[in-house]
Amino acid sequence: MFILAPLLTIALGLASVSSRPTNNCRCTFGSACWPSDSDFQALASKISQPLLHPIPPATPCYDSAAGNCTQVQTEWHDGVWRSDQPGAAQNTNWETYTFPNGTIEACYLGTSLGFPCQQGNVPIIGIDARTLADVQEAVNFAGNHNLRLVIKNTGHDYLGRSSGRGSFLLWTHHMKNITFLDSFSPTGATDSVTYNNVFTLGAGVQWFEAYEAAKERNVLIVGGFSLRGSVGAAGGWLAGGGHSALAPNYGLGVDNVLEMEIVTADGNLVVANSYQNQDLFWALRGGGGGTWGVVTSVTYKTHPPTPFSGAFLTVDSTNPNSTQTLLEEIIRLTSSLVDQGYGGYVSGSTDHLQLILLSPNVTVNQTQATFSPLFESAASQPGLSSQNETDAFPDLWTIYNLIWNNTDGNVGNPVEISSWLLPKDVVETGDPKNLAEELLKTASFEYNFVTGGQVSRVDSESTGLNPVWRNSLVYTAVVSTWQEGANETQIDAVRQRFIQDMKIIEGLAPGSGAYLNEASRYEFDWKKSFFGSHYDQLLNIKQKYDPNSLFLVYEGIGSDGWDADLICRV
């Protein structure tokens, strides 16, 4: 099995003539219809920054003129360092390109692996958008020249939707405006509709920056909880739903947005909210990133600041039975914990469990009382060694800084991930023993508290998000990784195991759905899993706003009429 289907005929650096009619295929770098140097110069003269020439992040280790290799080695696993580079993805597999014959083109950090440094999946040229006019020029340029356009924000995407071989890159990273408004009335609403204390975030703002701004204004904003906060606050995270440890109390990202500004395929700026362009606003909340246009800013509501209490448990196990017993106890507690406002993350495998849960609604003494049976069980069962803790935190910022402000072991490695939502009844009335047993059959799993509670109180038809989110209680996921430099045969062996793990979590709740932002290229039925009963309506809106499919992403709305490289119609 190969990452990309056998349809790409261009070769980087060669000006080969495509035999396909242009209207069926996008122009990619190297094809005859690729814009000339003077076309690019004309574009450069209209935008605020010089054109970008992205390079894979390990390039300085092959060519010292490109940068400092020691620095590359030091920062390799830092998500913020990666997001600062137009040519880097968070997970290195998206920087590489696999040919139909299985040859992988890459630029590995391990120079001793004996491979040259090559461009792979990294776009050759693009723009560093800073202004609305920059975005509009880039959209018009890509449309007029029939380019394969890639929008990249932070490069966190797990489906590789923010890179693309031979594509034209629109990088939103430097659109960093953050505006705080004491009072905000959505465009087109009557004056009586006002919200206090809102943030308008530019497309490139990342969660660590938004949290810092929220701290300064003494408000709480609902965002992602990645290490170092490097996930984007206004890009793909939001478009896909946006989950958070805060979601059981405050809803998902899509439940906290009031207005979005977006440049659509015709180059116009559209302001979408509940009062105007409602169809686009609906689609932008769950219909996925890179599909509707280029979002230039997002306005979020905020919440009053609040203290939190947290429960933490880390377990190492030499006895799989004990691991299972403990996981069963967590499963039995789930419903009551979500009712008490707990959100957060449980992850594990047969030999390890980790739990981080936070609630704004309880005192630390209540937390201690709630969790002590679980902690005692972890301390007393055979083969387990555990550490536990409960803490009071004055605010979210403190928690974030203590727990998440670290580099991420998985960033800077190849990663594939897949997720599955477990409906409330499966968790509450299902068999906890069976659920635990199945989860422990995977290589490693996540059992996260990022849904249920407030997420379930929002009308499933009010956003484009897959309705299965609204009656889900738990979010499960499985992950796989492999060694840099592994060949396609070796990767495929890892992938077969991963696909087995995907089947296990999907089997826990057949007919439920996956989170499109934490999903794989091997989804069994992505239209249904990602979008559920909203698929047809999303497709209608796609056809209205982007009839020529300028904005295409893997496993995105409207992508199924295209080959696996999203270059030619099939």
Ligand X SMILES: *[C@@H]1O[C@H](CO)[C@@H](O)[C@H](O)[C@H]1NC(C)=O
Ligand Y SMILES: Cc1cc2nc3c(=O)[nH]c(=O)nc-3n(C[C@H](O)[C@H](O)[C@H](O)COP(=O)(O)OP(=O)(O)OC[C@H]3O[C@@H](n4cnc5c(N)ncnc54)[C@H](O)[C@@H]3O)c2cc1C
Q: Is residue 115 within 8 Å of 108, Cβ to Cβ?
A: yes
First vs last C-alpha separation in the chain: 20
Q: Is residue 189 within 8 Å of 144, Cβ to Cβ?
A: no
How far apart are alpha carbons 145 and 563 in whole angstroms?
Answer: 19
- DSSP 8-state class, residue 51: P
Q: From 1-9, 67-75, 225-233, 365-373, give the range in contact with ligand Y by CB under 6 A.
A: 225-233
| Closest CB 523 distance from ligand X, rounded Å | 26
179: helix, strand or coil:
strand
- Interface residue with ligand X among 111, 276, 372, 471 (CB under 6 A) is 372
How far apart are alpha carbons 204 and 232 in whole angstroms?
Answer: 7
**How many chain residues touch ligand Y (CB under 6 A)?**
35
How far apart are alpha carbons 433 and 191 in whole angstroms?
Answer: 55
Q: Which does 203 bind (CB under 5 to 8 A by kind): ligand X, ligand Y, none?
A: ligand Y
Q: Which helix (H) or strand (E) holds 178?
A: strand 178-184
Closest by CA to 455, choosing from 472, 431, 443, is 472
- Interface residue with ligand Y among 18, 96, 153, 277 (CB under 6 A) is 153
- Interface residue with ligand Y among 479, 509, 553, 564 (CB under 6 A) is 553
Q: Which does 482 bind (CB under 5 to 8 A by kind): ligand X, ligand Y, none?
A: none
| Closest CB 348 distance from ligand X, rounded Å | 17
Q: Which does 418 bind (CB under 5 to 8 A by kind): ligand Y, ligand X, none?
A: none
Burial zone of 194 (CB within 10 Å; 0-12 exposed, 13-18 middle, 19+ buried): middle
| Closest CB 41 distance from ligand Y, rounded Å | 26
- Interface residue with ligand Y among 96, 98, 162, 367 (CB under 6 A) is 162
| Closest CB 24 distance from ligand Y, rounded Å | 23
- Interface residue with ligand X among 278, 487, 533, 548 (CB under 6 A) is 487
Verify binding: residue 290, ligand Y, rule CB under 6 A: yes
Angle, nearest 10°, between helix axes 364-380 and 320-339?
A: 160
Each residue 295-314 as x (binds ligand Y by CB under 6 A) or -, in order, gives: x-------------------
Q: Which does 236 bind (CB under 5 to 8 A by kind): ligand X, ligand Y, none?
A: ligand Y
Q: From 239-247, 351-359, 479-487, 541-549, give the range in contact with ligand Y by CB under 6 A.
A: 239-247
Q: Which does 246 bind (CB under 5 to 8 A by kind): ligand Y, ligand X, none?
A: none
Order of strands across the sheet with 269-273?
Answer: 178-184, 195-202, 294-300, 257-263, 269-273
Q: Is residue 492 within 8 Å of 469, Cβ to Cβ?
A: no
Burial zone of 38 (CB within 10 Å; 0-12 exposed, 13-18 middle, 19+ buried): exposed
| Closest CB 65 distance from ligand Y, rounded Å | 27
140: helix, strand or coil:
helix
Nearer to ligand X, 202 or 236 (CB): 202
Verify binding: residue 85, ligand Y, rule CB under 6 A: no
CA R_g for the chain: 23
Alpha helices in 165-266 (DSSP H): 207-217, 236-240, 247-250
**How many chain residues touch ligand X (CB under 6 A)?**
38
Nearer to ligand Y, 366 or 413 (CB): 413
| Closest CB 85 distance from ligand Y, rounded Å | 12
| Closest CB 37 distance from ligand X, rounded Å | 26
* Residue 92 to residues 154, 156, 415, Cα–Cα distance (Å): 13, 10, 8
- DSSP 8-state class, residue 66: G
| Closest CB 191 distance from ligand X, rounded Å | 23
Residues that bind ligand Y (CB under 6 A): 79, 90, 151-158, 161-162, 172, 203, 224-226, 231-232, 235-237, 239-240, 242-243, 289-290, 294-295, 408, 411, 517-518, 553
Residues that bind ligand X (CB under 6 A): 68, 70-71, 74, 99, 101-103, 131-132, 175, 177, 202, 208, 211-212, 229, 249, 319, 321, 341, 360-361, 365, 372, 375-376, 379, 386-388, 400-401, 405, 453, 487, 489-490
